[in-house]
C-alpha cells in the first residue's frame, strides 16, 4: 500500500470525540478525544492505568463506549463493528500465542480467519515473518520464542490482513535495543505505506523518534491543546553549554535573549534549524566557548514530566 | 520527533497483496468456513503433549481392560449387558473429557490473550462458539471410535438391531454434546478456569444424580396418607348369647338365625400411604441417562426369546423401574375398599353376600396363587412394554444445548457491553 497522488480527501483514519467508559464504578476513560491521520504515526502517552488500553479497545471495536463518538476508517463501531475490526490491525498489550503452533501456522490460520485463501495467507505469513525478522522461526513452535520475539510475532499477526489502521499497544515492551530500532523503522514504514498508526508506549525517547503527533492522557482524559502547546514549546528548547557559563549568560542578556540559566550554561528557545545555525554563529562571534549546542532532548518526555500528574 | 531514521531504512520488502472481503454490520451467525477453521485451530492447539498421550493411554487401557473382562466373563448366549457396559463407558469418558476441555476453552483463551485477536478477525461469535464446541466434542467421538471394536463385538451378541444401536449411540453423543456446550457456557461466564470446570461437572452431576435425589425428596410430597376406615363388630359389648350365636354362625356358615340389632359396630381408622410417583416421574425423565436408556429397545420379559433378543439387561431393567414410576401406584391399591365387617355380616344375614366354603381344595389354592402370579407378571410385562418416554429428556437436552450456545455467542460478541468481573479484554 502506498499513498497515491489522488488519495481521498478524508485523511482521518480514526476520529474519537468525547469517548467515555467505566467498569463498575471505576471510570477508566472519562473524556477522550483524538484523531489519527492516514500516513502518520500518533503516540498515545500517559501513566500506567490512565486508560490507554481501554481507549484502544474501544477504538478497535472490542469494547462499547458508554458515551462519545468513534469513527474508524469511515465506519461507526456501534453499527458497523465488523467493518471497524476488519480495518484495524491490533497488537494487544497482552502477549498471547498458540504455543503448540508454529509461527507460520499461526499467521496462516490468522490469515484464513480473515478469509484470505490458505496459499496466499501462507505466503503473506512468510513475508511478514521475514519483515519482523522471525523468518528462521517460521517452523518452530511459538512456545520457544522469547518475549521480544513473541512481541514481533504479535506485530506480524496484526498485519496479516493488510489493515489501513494499526493500533499498537506497548509494542516496544520487552524488546532489545536493536529490535526497538527495527520497530521504529517498521512503524515509520507502515506510515509511509499510507496506514494510520496509533502507538502507545512508555519508552518516550523511542516515541520521539517515530511519531508525528502525540496525544497525552491522564486520569482517563486526553489533554488536547494544552499538551500540544507544551510539546511544541519543548521542541523549541535548545541547550547551550559553554566553558564559562557566566560569560554565556552575560552575552545572552546583552543580546536580549530569553533564557533559563543552568549550572553548565543555558536553555533557550529557538524556532527552527536555520535560526539555530545563526544563533550558534552569533555566539561564536561573541567569543563564547560553546562546547555543546543542541535540542534539549525528548520533547515528549519533557511534556510528560511537566504534566506533573500523579501516577495511579 | 525527527523522521530522519526513515532515510536509512531499507525499502519495504515486496508485500504479498491480500484482499480480505469487506465486512458490514456485526454478524454473529456461525458459518461453515468459520466453524471448520475454528475447529482446526482448536484441535491443533490442543494436540496433547507427551504427558497427555500417557494420560489418555492409561485411561484407554483401563477402559479396554474392563471391556475385555466383560467379554471374557460373558455367557455364551445372547447378552445385552456387555454392550450396555461399553455404551456406559463411551458416555462416561465423553462426559468426563469433553466438558472439561470446553469448560476451560473461553476463559482460558481469554487469560492467555489469544481470544481477542480471533474476535478481531472475520470469525463471528457463532464461528468461535460452535467451532470450540465441536472441537471439544470431537474428542469424545474419538473415544467412541477408539472403543468401536468392543462396541461392535459386544453389539453382535446383544440382540439389539443396527438401527437401535445407532439411535442409542446418537443419544449418547447428543448428551455429550449438550454437556460440552454447558461447559463452554460456564467458561464464558466464569472468570476462572477452576470455577468453570467445577460448575460444569456440578451441572452434569445435578442432572445425572441430582434428579434422582429430587425425585426421592419429591416422592415425600406426593405420598398420601389416606386414612382408611374399617368397621368391625364390637365384640366387647356383645352379651354372651349374641357372641356365641355369632361364633356358631361363623362355624356353620348359617347366618340366618342372627339378629343384626344385637351387634354394635365400631370404627377403626388406620393410615394407608400411597405414593403417586406418576405425578413426579417427569423428574426422572429429565435425567440424561434415563433419556439414553429410554431410547434403547423394549425387551419383553416373557417373549424375548421368540423376539430374538437377549434377556432383559440393565437398560431394560431401568426402563421397567422408570415405567413403574410413570404408572404410579397399582390401581388395586388405589381402589382399596375399606373392610366393613358389619356390612358383610348384614349381607350374609340377608343372603346377598355368599358365605365362605371352608374346604378349599388344593387345586383351588394353586389356581389362586397362579392367578396372583399371573397378575404380577402381567404388571411386569406391562411395565417393560410401556412406550419409552425419551421426549422430555430430549427436550431438556435440546434446551440446554441451544440455551448454552445462546449464552456463549452472546458473551463472545464484541464490542463488549460488559466484561466478566475480574477480567480484561485481551
CA-based nearest residue to A82, from B417, B110, B32, B124: B124
Within-domain flag for A6: no
Together in a domain, B246 and B187: no
Together in a domain, B196 and B325: no
Q: Regarding beta strands A67-72 and A12-23, do their DSSP bridges make them parallel or antiparallel, or are they unpaired?
A: antiparallel
Residue A40, C-beta contacts closer than 8 angstroms, at least 6 positions apart: A191, A196, A197, A212, A213
Query: Which of B45, B415, B419 is the closest to A98 by Cβ?
Result: B45
Contact B180, B130 (CB under 8 A): no
The three-state secondary structure class of A192 is helix
What are residue B421's phi and psi, to 5 degrees? -60, 135
A251: closest CA of chain B, how far (Å): 30
Q: Which of A223, A251, A277 is the last residue of a domain?
A: A223
Number of domains in chain A: 2
Contact A214, A226 (CB under 8 A): no
Searching chain A, which residue's CA lies closest to the CA of residue B10?
A185
CATH number at residue A249: 3.30.70
Together in a domain, B187 and B38: yes
- Chain B residues touching residue A112 (CB < 8 angstroms): 37
Within-domain flag for B42: yes
Q: Which of A223, A253, A285 is the last residue of a domain?
A: A223
**How high is the pLDDT of residue B421?**
60
Our CA dihedral for A107, A113, A114, A120, rounded to 10 degrees, sits at 50
Together in a domain, B38 and B147: yes
Together in a domain, A199 and A126: yes
Together in a domain, B204 and B228: no
Contact A192, A39 (CB under 8 A): yes
Q: Is the dihedral of CA A58, A74, A129, B3 positive or negative?
A: negative
Within-domain flag for B162: yes
Together in a domain, A190 and A56: yes
Whether the model pTM is above 0.80: yes
Together in a domain, B59 and B108: yes
Residue with cell 452472546: B410
**How high is the pLDDT of residue A157?**
94
Q: A235 and B26: CB-CB below 8 Å?
A: no
Compute the distance between CA of residue B7 and CA of residue A189 in angstroms, rounded to an integer: 11
- Chain B residues touching residue A107 (CB < 8 angstroms): none
Residue B378, C-beta contacts closer than 8 angstroms, at least 6 positions apart: none
**How high is the pLDDT of residue A191?**
92
B 23-42: CB under 8 A from A = 23-27, 33-34, 37, 40-41
Helices (H) and strands (E) in chain A, counts: 11, 13
ipTM attached to this prediction: 0.85
Together in a domain, B145 and B176: yes
**How high is the pLDDT of residue B68?**
79
Compute the distance between CA of residue B2 and CA of residue B43 in angstroms, rounded to an integer: 48
* Residues in chain B with pLDDT values less than 70: 1-14, 74-75, 331-338, 351-361, 420-426
**How high is the pLDDT of residue B356?**
55
Contact A42, A215 (CB under 8 A): yes
Within-domain flag for B172: yes
Q: B414 and A111: CB-CB below 8 Å?
A: no
Together in a domain, B179 and B242: no
Of the residues A29, A112, A156, the best mutation for testing chain B's interface (the one with the most B CB atoms within 10 Å of its CB) is: A112
Together in a domain, B55 and B89: yes
Together in a domain, A125 and A240: no
Compute the distance between CA of residue B28 and CA of residue B299 in angstroms, rounded to an integer: 46
Q: How far apart are the first and last CA of chain A?
A: 40
Searching chain B, which residue's CA lies closest to the CA of residue A143?
B45
Q: B415 and A77: CB-CB below 8 Å?
A: yes
Together in a domain, B265 and B232: yes
Together in a domain, B243 and B334: yes
Together in a domain, A181 and A303: no
Within-domain flag for B350: yes
Query: Which domain covers residue B80, as residue numbers?
Result: 28-209+394-412
**How high is the pLDDT of residue B168?**
94
Together in a domain, A135 and A283: no
Q: A81 and B415: CB-CB below 8 Å?
A: yes
**How high is the pLDDT of residue A6?**
53
pLDDT in tens, B58-74: 877 887 787 778 777 76
**How high is the pLDDT of residue A300?**
82
- Chain A residues touching residue B26 (CB < 8 angstroms): 79-82
Within-domain flag for A230: no
Q: B419 and A81: CB-CB below 8 Å?
A: no
Number of domains in chain B: 2
- Chain A residues touching residue B114 (CB < 8 angstroms): 96-98
Q: Which of A177, A192, A223 is the last residue of a domain?
A: A223
Together in a domain, A101 and A154: yes
* Residues in chain A with pLDDT values less than 50: 1-4, 7-8, 310-312
CB burial readout A126-160, b (16+ within 10 A) else e: bbbbebbebeebbeebbeebeebbbbbbbbbbbbb
Together in a domain, A212 and A188: yes
Query: Which domain covers residue A156, as residue numbers?
Result: 12-223
Together in a domain, A96 and A217: yes
**How high is the pLDDT of residue B182?**
96
- For residue A251 the three cell numbers come to 552575552
Compute the distance between CA of residue B207 and CA of residue B285 in angstroms, rounded to an integer: 10
Together in a domain, B79 and B181: yes
Q: Please state the three-class secondary structure of chain B as a single string.
A: CCCHHHHHCCCCCCCCCCCCCCCCCCCCCCCHHHHHHHHHHHHHHCCCCHHHHHHHHHHHHHHHHHHHHHHHCCCCCCECHHHHHHHHHHHHHHHHHHHHHHHCHHHHHHHHCCHHHHHHCCCCHHHHHHHHHHHHHHHHHHHHHHCHHHHHHHHHCCCCCHHHHHHHHHHHHHHHHHHHHHHHHHHHHCCCHHHHHHHHHHHHHHHHHHHHHHHHHHHHHCEEEEEEEEEEECHHHCCHHHHHHHHHHHHHCCCCCCCHHHCCEEEEEEEEEEECHHHCHHHHHCCHHHHHHHCCCCCCCCCCCCCCCCECCHHHHHHHHHHHHHHCCCHHHHCCCCCEHHHHHHHHHHCCCCCCCCCCCHHHHHHHHHHHHHHHHHHHHHHHHCCCCCHHHHHHHHHHHHHHHHHHHHHHCCCECCCCCCCCCC
Q: Which residues pair with A41 in a beta bridge?
A: A197
Together in a domain, A74 and A190: yes
Within-domain flag for B182: yes
**How high is the pLDDT of residue B13?**
52
Together in a domain, A39 and A159: yes
Together in a domain, A66 and A105: yes
Within-domain flag for A133: yes
Within-domain flag for B14: no
Amino acid at each position: 500500500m502506498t499513498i497515491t497522488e489522488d488519495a481521498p480527501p478524508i485523511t482521518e483514519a480514526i476520529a474519537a470525540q468525547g469517548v467515555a467508559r467505566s467498569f463498575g464504578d471505576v471510570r477508566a476513560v472519562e473524556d477522550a478525544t483524538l484523531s489519527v491521520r492516514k500516513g502518520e504515526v500518533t503516540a498515545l502517552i500517559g501513566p500506567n492505568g490512565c486508560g490507554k488500553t481501554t481507549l484502544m479497545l474501544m477504538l478497535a471495536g472490542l469494547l462499547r463506549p458508554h458515551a462519545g463518538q468513534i469513527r474508524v476508517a469511515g465506519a461507526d463501531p456501534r453499527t458497523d463493528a465488523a467493518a471497524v475490526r476488519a480495518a484495524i490491525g491490533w497488537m494487544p498489550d497482552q502477549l498471547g500465542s498458540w504455543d503448540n503452533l508454529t509461527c507460520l501456522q499461526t499467521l496462516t490460520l490468522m490469515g484464513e480467519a480473515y478469509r484470505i485463501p490458505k496459499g496466499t495467507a501462507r505466503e503473506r505469513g512468510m513475508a511478514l515473518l521475514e519483515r519482523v525478522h522471525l523468518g528462521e522461526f517460521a517452523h518452530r513452535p511459538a512456545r520457544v520464542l522469547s518475549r521480544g520475539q513473541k512481541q514481533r510475532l504479535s506485530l506480524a499477526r496484526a498485519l496479516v490482513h493488510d489493515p489501513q489502521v494499526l493500533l499498537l499497544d506497548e509494542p516496544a515492551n520487552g524488546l532489545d535495543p536493536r529490535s526497538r530500532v527495527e520497530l521504529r523503522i517498521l512503524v515509520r514504514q507502515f506510515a509511509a505505506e499510507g496506514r494510520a498508526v496509533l502507538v502507545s508506549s512508555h519508552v518516550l525517547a523511542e516515541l520521539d523518534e517515530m511519531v508525528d503527533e502525540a496525544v497525552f492522557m491522564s486520569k482517563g482524559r486526553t489533554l488536547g491543546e494544552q499538551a500540544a502547546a507544551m510539546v511544541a514549546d519543548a521542541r523549541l528548547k535548545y541547550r547551550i553549554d559553554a566553558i564559562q557559563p557566566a560569560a554565556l549568560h552575560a552575552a545572552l542578556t546583552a543580546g536580549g535573549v530569553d533564557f533559563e540559566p543552568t549550572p553548565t550554561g543555558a536553555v533557550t528557545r529557538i524556532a527552527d534549524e536555520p535560526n539555530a545555525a545563526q544563533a550558534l554563529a552569533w555566539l561564536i562571534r561573541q567569543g563564547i566557548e560553546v562546547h555543546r549546542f543542541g535540542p534539549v532532548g525528548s520533547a515528549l518526555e519533557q511534556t510528560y514530566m511537566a504534566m506533573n500528574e500523579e501516577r495511579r | 520527533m525527527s523522521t530522519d531514521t526513515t532515510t536509512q531504512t531499507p525499502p519495504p520488502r515486496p508485500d504479498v497483496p491480500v484482499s480480505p472481503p469487506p465486512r458490514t454490520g456485526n454478524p454473529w451467525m456461525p458459518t461453515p468456513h468459520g466453524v471448520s477453521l475454528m475447529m482446526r485451530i482448536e484441535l491443533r492447539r490442543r494436540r496433547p503433549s507427551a504427558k497427555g498421550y500417557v494420560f489418555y493411554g492409561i485411561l484407554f487401557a483401563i477402559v479396554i481392560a474392563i471391556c475385555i473382562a466383560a467379554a471374557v466373563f460373558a455367557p455364551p448366549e445372547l447378552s445385552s449387558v456387555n454392550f450396555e457396559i461399553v455404551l456406559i463407558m463411551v458416555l462416561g469418558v465423553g462426559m468426563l473429557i469433553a466438558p472439561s476441555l470446553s469448560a476451560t476453552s473461553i476463559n482460558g483463551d481469554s487469560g492467555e490473550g489469544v481470544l481477542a485477536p480471533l474476535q478481531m478477525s472475520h470469525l463471528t461469535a457463532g464461528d468461535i462458539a460452535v467451532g470450540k464446541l465441536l472441537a471439544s466434542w470431537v474428542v469424545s467421538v474419538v473415544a467412541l471410535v477408539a472403543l468401536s471394536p468392543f462396541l461392535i463385538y459386544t453389539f453382535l451378541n446383544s440382540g439389539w438391531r443396527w438401527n437401535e444401536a445407532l439411535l442409542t449411540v446418537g443419544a449418547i453423543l447428543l448428551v455429550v454434546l449438550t454437556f460440552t456446550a454447558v461447559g463452554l457456557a460456564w467458561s464464558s461466564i466464569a472468570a476462572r478456569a477452576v470455577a468453570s470446570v467445577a460448575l460444569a461437572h456440578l451441572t452434569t452431576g445435578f442432572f445425572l444424580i441430582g434428579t434422582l435425589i429430587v425425585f426421592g425428596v419429591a416422592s415425600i410430597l406426593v405420598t398420601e396418607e389416606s386414612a382408611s376406615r374399617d368397621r368391625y363388630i364390637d365384640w366387647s359389648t356383645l352379651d354372651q348369647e349374641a357372641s356365641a350365636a355369632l361364633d356358631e354362625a361363623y362355624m356353620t356358615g348359617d347366618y340366618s338365625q342372627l339378629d343384626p340389632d344385637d351387634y354394635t359396630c365400631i370404627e377403626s381408622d388406620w393410615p394407608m400411604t400411597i405414593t403417586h410417583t406418576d405425578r413426579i416421574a417427569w423428574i426422572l425423565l429429565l435425567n440424561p441417562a434415563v433419556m439414553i436408556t429410554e431410547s434403547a429397545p423394549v425387551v419383553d420379559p416373557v417373549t424375548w426369546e421368540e423376539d430374538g433378543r437377549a434377556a432383559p439387561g440393565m437398560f431394560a431393567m431401568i426402563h421397567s423401574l422408570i415405567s413403574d414410576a410413570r404408572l404410579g401406584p397399582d390401581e388395586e391399591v388405589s381402589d382399596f375398599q375399606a373392610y366393613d365387617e358389619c356390612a358383610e355380616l348384614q349381607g350374609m344375614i340377608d343372603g346377598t353376600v355368599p358365605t365362605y366354603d371352608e374346604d378349599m381344595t388344593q387345586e383351588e389354592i394353586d389356581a389362586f396363587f397362579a392367578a396372583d402370579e399371573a397378575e404380577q407378571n402381567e404388571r411386569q410385562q406391562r411395565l417393560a412394554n410401556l412406550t419409552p418416554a425419551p421426549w422430555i429428556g430430549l427436550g431438556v437436552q435440546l434446551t440446554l444445548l441451544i440455551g448454552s450456545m445462546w449464552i456463549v455467542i452472546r458473551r463472545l460478541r464484541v464490542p463488549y457491553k460488559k466484561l466478566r468481573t475480574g477480567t480484561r479484554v485481551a
